[in-house]
Amino acid sequence: MAMDVDSDRRFEVLLERLDRIGDELAKVGKRLDNDEHFLRLTRELATLNESLQALAYAALGSQAPQVRRRRTG
């Protein structure tokens, strides 16, 4: 009878550990999903930046940009 109680307790402890491992794996999976979304967003922003630069240069045409400096003092 004592052996069954020890076996049952060991089994419960093992199940608890497996549950914790499962929870941690779920967290890691969510983190990886977020990293993938972040990388995709980063690529999209880089593409948008290139497009905006191309539009800016196209808007300038053959003229150089005219920059006005503020006077200090």
pLDDT in tens, the chain (73 residues): 566 888 889 999 999 999 999 999 999 999 999 899 999 999 999 999 999 988 888 887 766 666 677 777 6
Write the secondary structure of the chain as one string of H (helix), E (strand) and C (coil).
CHHHHHHHHHHHHHHHHHHHHHHHHHHHHHHHHHHHHHHHHHHHHHHHHHHHHHHHHHHHCCCCCCCCCCCCC
Give the global pTM: 0.52
- What pLDDT, on a 0 to 100 scale, did the predictor assign at position 12? 93
Confidence at residue 47, expressed as pLDDT on a 0 to 100 scale: 93
